[in-house]
Amino acid sequence: MDQFTLNLIFVGASFALYIGIAIWARAGSTADFYAASRGVNPIVNGAATAADWMSAASFISMAGLIAFVGYGNSSFLMGWTGGYVMLALLLAPYLRKFGRYTVPEFIGDRFYSQTARVVAVICLLVISITYVIGQMTGAGVAFSRFLEVDNLTGLLIAAAVIFAYAVIGGMKGITYTQLAQYIVMIIAYTIPAVFISLQLTGQFLPQIGLFSTHLESGQPLLQTLDQVLVELGFNDYTGQHTSYFNMFLFTMSLMVGTAGLPHVIIRFFTVPKVSDARKSAGWALVFIALLYTVAPAVGAMARLNILTTIYPDGTTAQPISYDERPDWMRNWELTGLLAFEDKNNDGLIQYYNDRDPAFAEIAAERGWEGNEMVTFNQDILVLANPEIAQLPGWVIALIAAGGLAAALSTAAGLLLAISSAISHDLLKSTLTPGISEKAELLAARISMAFAIALATYLGANPPGFAAQVVALAFGLAAATLFPAIMMGIFSTKMNTAGAVSGMVVGLVATCLYIFTYLGWFFIPGTNMLANTPENWFFGISPLSFGAVGAAINFLVAYVVMTQTKEPPAEIQELVESIRIPRGAAGAVDH
């Protein structure tokens, strides 16, 4: 059976499964649509949360970023995982105990203000729309290669599938669909990694293989990778070559951004009890760890395989000829995400760091005139990994289904968060409070359809790699919703004026910084402006500014709070009550 047919069977079967689940779990009420009627088992919710959170950025893009940068991009692993721990311990149980459907609803009720609710909706929309770009980008990358269609057609197919199961099923359908998507995702990610680890190191577990002996060279795998990279003028893989200051800020931005992501937070509203929210968080950490401990091995092994593919005889002085390039290169060239240019007309593929002055003399002696791998989209690495390692066709088809599951699962969660904010927090609670439940459910489905259309357009014109775009969304979440939620739970004195001022200033400051130093953001087809460390304010990367935005939010909120009226006594009592442990006097487990 040819590869295209295998891909079609695996991807088509997974799509049929998702749509079938949505029909089976069709939302019949707003309670079903927003929170699955709070009836989801904690283990199921843990797996669904893991799928919701481990997006295309985690599945498709993260290993690529680690592969091409190395240790410096371990920030993604540390920030995303640490942030989830923060969310599980500090926010999830208390938000579930508060007993609302959405993040803006919590903020509106906690800060006793429709203005606070509307500001939270605006922040949620900015965060979620930014985030969903990365998911649609990832879906387009997967479709363009494995179903042999152009990027736009792939995006339209993805949008149609999401529409079919998210609009019909709402949170109830999405929850069980995400359970299936997690199973597809973790199998698809792990099986190729196991095969490749066995090939390179003889170790079954990739986590162990990463630190084991490379069979061909007889030395540690990471040492071999470092050696080859340095020979080609690149930085060594295991060294630190970026600013520790920015690495710290970026990690913090991802951490607090994770804890403020609305589409993840709402997952904890779907379980029956507060104790179930804690159990869900624990199970989600287990499920997330299964993939996140494999990602560093995938990145390192894939990078080494790419290098040994181009320099197959073991010496970096003699690259492979263009005509003899392997099939995986030919296949990905068709997508436009991989491209070569024979700059010295010798018929060979020179891949090296042509910006390294120390290597320039060696390159000149060899007659090389520049890096001839002129395009290598980092988002293709995980998807191309089975082909690079020459694994069986069914493994390649499996990774295709897994990559699409990752993109679709998070996209659905984000679109539900957008839909709920518009229908429940804007229409039902603000603009048309007398709307019937049937009309509200219809409005939720219509708003989701519009959100899907917008996400498809932006996914066709993304401003960067999937994980980079997602990192910006985390920064926005860190600077806006996270401080408001934290202060709403742990400060009885934080009032409306403080919370609203903090969110507005955090949002504006972060967006201004991003627009200033990433000038292409939301401007399709244009180039980055001033995106160099020399031009950054105090050397702070735009991708790291979320932590600064969060600090600004906290500071502004505190200053304004001290100059304005305290919250009403009943609000202060409410804040105290949601932190009382279950079983204590006065505690209520909703």
The whole-angstrom separation of Cα 451 and Cα 431 is 19
Residue 520 clears pLDDT 50, i.e. is over it: no
Picking from 211-220, 306-315, 462-471, which range would have the lowest pLDDT averaged per residue? 462-471
Quick one: 351 and 409 in the same domain?
no
Q: What is the pLDDT of residues 170-207, one digit of tens each?
A: 788 888 888 888 998 899 889 999 999 999 999 999 99
Token readout for 441 is: 């459910």
Number of structural domains (the chain) is 2
Quick one: 399 and 358 in the same domain?
no
Residue that is last in its domain, among 442, 461, 480: 461
Angle between helix 545-562 and 496-517 (nearest 10): 150
Quick one: 148 and 211 in the same domain?
yes
Is residue 495 situated within a structural domain? no
Quick one: 168 and 130 in the same domain?
yes
The mean per-residue pLDDT over the stretch 501-507 comes to: 95
3-state secondary structure of 334: coil
Average pLDDT of the chain to the nearest whole number: 84
Quick one: 356 and 283 in the same domain?
no
Quick one: 366 and 225 in the same domain?
no
The whole-angstrom separation of Cα 578 and Cα 575 is 6
**Looking at residue 530, what is its pLDDT?**
43
**Looking at residue 588, what is its pLDDT?**
45
Domain of 183: which CATH number? 1.20.1730.10
Q: What is the pLDDT of residues 263-294, one digit of tens each?
A: 888 888 888 888 888 888 889 989 988 888 99
- pLDDT band of 528, cuts 50, 70, 90: very low
Is residue 515 situated within a structural domain? no
Is residue 323 situated within a structural domain? no
The whole-angstrom separation of Cα 468 and Cα 518 is 11
Residue that is last in its domain, among 319, 350, 376: 376
- pLDDT band of 64, cuts 50, 70, 90: confident
The whole-angstrom separation of Cα 206 and Cα 451 is 39
Quick one: 347 and 398 in the same domain?
no
**Looking at residue 523, what is its pLDDT?**
37
**Looking at residue 44, what is its pLDDT?**
93
Are 424 and 392 within 8 A, CB to CB?
no
Owning domain of residue 140: 3-302+385-461
Residue 186, CA distances (Å) to 59, 132, 198, 208, 294 in order:
9, 21, 18, 18, 10
Residue that is last in its domain, among 376, 400, 423: 376
Q: Dmax of the chain from CA atoms?
A: 81
Is residue 214 situated within a structural domain? yes
Quick one: 206 and 163 in the same domain?
yes
Helix (H) / strand (E) element for 375: namely: strand 375-376
Quick one: 355 and 406 in the same domain?
no
Is residue 475 situated within a structural domain? no
Q: For residue 53, which of 287, 296, 385 has the smallest C-alpha distance?
A: 287
Is residue 11 situated within a structural domain? yes
What size, in residues, is the chain?
Answer: 590
Backbone angles phi, psi at 134, to 5 degrees: -60, -35
Are 341 and 374 within 8 A, CB to CB?
yes
DSSP state of 376: E
Highest-confidence segment of 148-162, 318-332, 424-438: 318-332
3-state secondary structure of 164: helix
**Looking at residue 107, what is its pLDDT?**
93
Quick one: 455 and 364 in the same domain?
no
Comparison of pLDDT for 434 and 112, the residue scoring more = 112
Share of the chain above pLDDT 70, in %: 93
Is residue 310 situated within a structural domain? no
Quick one: 7 and 154 in the same domain?
yes
Is residue 506 situated within a structural domain? no
- pLDDT band of 156, cuts 50, 70, 90: confident
The whole-angstrom separation of Cα 19 and Cα 8 is 16
Cα angle value 115/116/122 (rounded, 5°)? 90
Quick one: 354 and 389 in the same domain?
no
The mean per-residue pLDDT over the stretch 249-253 comes to: 89
